[in-house]
Amino acid sequence: MVQGVGFRPFVYTLARELGLTGFVGNDVHGVFVFAEGPPSLLERFRTALSEQAPPLAVVDEITATAIEPRGDETFEIALSDSSGQRATLVSADSATCVDCLAELGDPGDRRYRYPFLNCTNCGPRFTIVTDVPYDRPLTTMAPFEMCADCAAEYHDPTNRRFHAQPVCCPACGPELRLTDSTGAVLPGDPLDRTVAALRDGEIVALKGLGGYHLAVDAANPDAAATLRKRKHREEKPFAVMAPDVAWARTLCEIDEHERELLESRRGAIVLLDRRPDAAVAEAVAPGNRQLGVMLPYTPLHHLLLAATGPIVLTSANLSDEPIAYRDAEARERLAEIADVFLGHDRGIHMRTDDSVVRSFDGRELPVRRSRGLVPEPVRLRRELPRPVLACGAELKNTFCVAKGSNAFVSHHIGDLENYETLRSFTEGIEHFERLFDIAPEVVAHDLHPEYLSTKYAAEREDVELVGVQHHHAHIASCLADNGESGPVLGVAFDGLGFGTDGTIWGGEFLLADLADFRRLAHLERVPMPGGDRAVKQPWRMAVSQLLSCYGTEPPGGLEVLRRNEPQLSVITRMCEGGVNAPRTSSAGRLFDAVAAILGIRDAVSYEGQAAIELEQLADREERGHYPVALPASGTLPDPVAAGAASPPLSVPAGQLVRAVVDELRAGQRGEVIAGRFHNGVAELIARLCERLRDATGVGEVALSGGVFQNTLLLRRAVDALRRRGFRVLLHSNVPTNDGGICLGQVAIAGERDRRGGNSPERG
Ligand SMILES: [Zn+2]
Ligand SMILES: [Zn+2]
């Protein structure tokens, strides 16, 4: 990634320092250099090219050939060849660099306190690019004509702002504007008035890099509660922006790797363990052990936070809608939520939510891959024979366009359930195809016929369609994330995914590579009374699990049954008759059921809430676990020899539910039960993988699926597997949840294409 990141000026300066002559230029393949001088200096030049490259540059490879000297007298930057620029990459938006920060705080600098300063090493990129080549006229900076001072910097190869497309200053660039919801400009200094509004407990709509945020003082209980109420977001945690790491340390425990993640130029939200004494209002992240924290990543944030201390900063939308990013639209949609609007006249072309990451074992686990990371490609181990579009899943949708060995995973699109999100999805695909000059010939999609992403795929013309089973995609995504191709034992634990047998899967043990998979085992199936309603009401899953364990005579004294007494007979009939009660092997629903049995909650207001709270409740010191009796080794199906005729093993996960019920009735504390349940699931995973290793000879395990966002389960499962000698593959480039599905779809479609046949998934 060498375009728009100051690479040519860097080469120019380096060559001049070493006294080399020649030139540097761009072409479709990247940067080329002609350098002439003594061999020892050329060698130093070459080493420095990769070792001292600018912060935003990514150098994959340097190749060199000896040619005849040309006898140039100087070293110059060659003008861009305007044809075929598209293969060079657009970089991700980047947090304000230290040099720009120094200028921001320097009263003698002409950009002192200018909220839009940036340079080649930082600032907006992906969000402002309207088309390629990446050049100012094709960004939302096009309307701003550079002043003479900015133009001089822009054209000076030795300047930090050489060819920095968004370069600007107070004389020529965008300016802040504080308005009310009608768009009427409020008098006074916009920044000072915003600070005052936050201090007064008002809600501010704040225009950021990828869209509008809503901000309130994080320590003000009334303001946080009002924001929660107006946003109709009853329990989902808000993120907090802290002025700097020292401030963040007063809110959360931060280790060295977490500090790196916080201070990274990507500016992601980092999920951290919250300190008991954190000065954050209860309504910010109710009942949550963790807090999502980010640091200022634009000059505007820096100016604001220096005056306010930590603020809540959450995507400006009503629940489930995409983030607002156009000024008029934001004012309209947020009129009932925000008191004032701090905007500006630099447009946002691609709306992009904040990325969310966490640290695990000293590596990064992405939860949401968006601003700051997109559109950096994920490198595929093998080149794709033909360009691929993968349409992803339905919830937490991302898509991916891929060519050669680059897979461009999109920013977080969201849940494809309303018109706005669907439009974001289709427009996003068009934009990516244009930006990276990719015309997909193969289109991969989920097997679920009702996903809007599947329907979109079916409407694409002149392409080869490839249906990919949801959990196979999860495991392939984990393989591709690690640059591996299997075979691997894939443990895919998530909410719901369409199976090859027409039932709903979600607690799967697969033998998988990038081309194919076999379903070796799954959690035993239980009815989901009411279908989707059972997702929103975990108590229904509790009833279903109890019926499966005990028949119609569950042990007495269970509060979950008492609480839901009026509907119990209806739900029981649904489960028994199989009417509107599809059976599922979902691990997510098992966690839901246990959460409801423990009285954590009967209904959820966002996806995965019950399971998250079950994890929060668990005593992390607890080492005991509930056992599950696996069938003797001899009774396992022979996954290699028996072929598709041999049915997968059904794992009696209901034994975990029985253990939970027994301990609950014996008066055990919920914290201990939740801990032992987590440990029990981890042991079940490890012991079953051991059996499957005996049967298959495969000693690598890939863990994927939304349930593994549960870091307690992940910790215990990884430890239990490693104790048994397994090599364990985890995600680090794309999320383990459905936001990572599209990468797996690309890997599978590519591998099948390579093998010359896209046979349907059979499992
Ligand atoms: Zn900078
Ligand atoms: Zn200027």
- pLDDT class of 316 with cuts at 50, 70, 90: confident
pLDDT at 755 over 60: yes
Q: How far is CA 278 from the centre of its chain?
A: 26
Ligand nearest to the CA of 161: 1
Instruction: Please state, in angstroms and rounded to a whole number, the distance separating the CA atoms of residues 123 and 5.
Output: 10
Residue 120 alpha carbon to ligand 1 centre in Å: 6
Residues with CB under 5 A from ligand 1 (ion): 97, 100, 119, 121-122
User: What integer is the mean pLDDT of 696-720?
Assistant: 97
Name the percent of the chain lying above pLDDT 90. Answer: 79
> String of b and e for 324-353 (b: at least 16 CB within 10 Å)?
bbebeebbebbeebbbbbbbbebbbbbbbb
Neighbours of 703 (CB within 10 A): 26
Q: Per-residue pLDDT tens for 9-68?
A: 889 989 999 999 999 887 666 788 999 999 999 999 999 998 898 888 888 888 899 988
User: What integer is the mean pLDDT of 727-735?
Assistant: 98
Helix H or strand E encompassing 274: strand 269-274
CB 64 within 8 A of CB 20: no
Residue 95 alpha carbon to ligand 1 centre in Å: 8
Residue corresponding to tokens 């009026």? 566
- pLDDT class of 584 with cuts at 50, 70, 90: very high
Residue 384 alpha carbon to ligand 2 centre in Å: 44
| Residue 266: burial class (beta carbons within 10 Å; 0-12, 13-18, 19+) | buried
How far, CA to CA in Å, does 381 sit from each of 72, 363, 704, 718, 744? 40, 20, 19, 25, 13
| Residue 259: burial class (beta carbons within 10 Å; 0-12, 13-18, 19+) | middle
User: What integer is the mean pLDDT of 610-624?
Assistant: 96
Instruction: Please state, in angstroms and rounded to a whole number, the distance separating the CA atoms of residues 483 and 405.
Output: 11
DSSP classification of residue 185: B
User: What integer is the mean pLDDT of 197-203?
Assistant: 97
Residue corresponding to tokens 């005996």? 694
User: What integer is the mean pLDDT of 106-110?
Assistant: 98
Helix H or strand E encompassing 681: helix 670-696
Least confident of 22-31, 278-287, 382-391, 487-496: 22-31
pLDDT at 640 over 70: no
- pLDDT class of 231 with cuts at 50, 70, 90: confident
Ligand nearest to the CA of 154: 2
State residue 606's pLDDT score: 87
Least confident of 63-72, 507-516, 527-536, 673-682: 63-72
Instruction: Please state, in angstroms and rounded to a whole number, the distance separating the CA atoms of residues 106 and 112.
Output: 6
State residue 85's pLDDT score: 44
- pLDDT class of 86 with cuts at 50, 70, 90: very low
Q: Per-residue pLDDT tens for 422-437?
A: 999 999 999 999 999 9
State residue 60's pLDDT score: 80
Q: Per-residue pLDDT tens for 537-582?
A: 999 999 999 999 999 888 988 999 999 999 999 999 999 998 899 9
Q: How many helices (H) and strands (E) does the chain have?
A: 23, 28
Name the percent of the chain lying above pLDDT 70. Answer: 95
CB 207 within 8 A of CB 354: no
State residue 633's pLDDT score: 61
3-state class (DSSP) for residue 592: helix
26 catalytic per annotation:
yes
288 catalytic per annotation:
no
State residue 758's pLDDT score: 57
Least confident of 109-123, 227-241, 335-349: 227-241
Ligand nearest to the CA of 114: 2
Among 271, 223, 231, 267, which residue's Cα sits nearest to residue 251?
A: 271
Q: Per-residue pLDDT tens for 685-703?
A: 999 999 999 999 999 999 9
State residue 232's pLDDT score: 82
Residue 43 alpha carbon to ligand 1 centre in Å: 30
Residue 115 alpha carbon to ligand 2 centre in Å: 13
User: What integer is the mean pLDDT of 108-121?
Assistant: 97
Longest dimension (CA), the chain: 93
Residue 410 alpha carbon to ligand 2 centre in Å: 33
Helix residue ranges, H only, 276-324? 299-308
- The domains found in the chain, sorted by start residue, are 7-77 (3.30.70.100), 176-356 (3.90.870.40), 382-468+743-755 (3.30.420.360), 488-633+646-732 (3.30.420.40)
Ligand nearest to the CA of 174: 2
pLDDT at 639 over 60: no
Residue 82 alpha carbon to ligand 2 centre in Å: 26
For 643: left if phi > 0, alpha if psi spans -120 to 50, otherwise beta; the answer is left
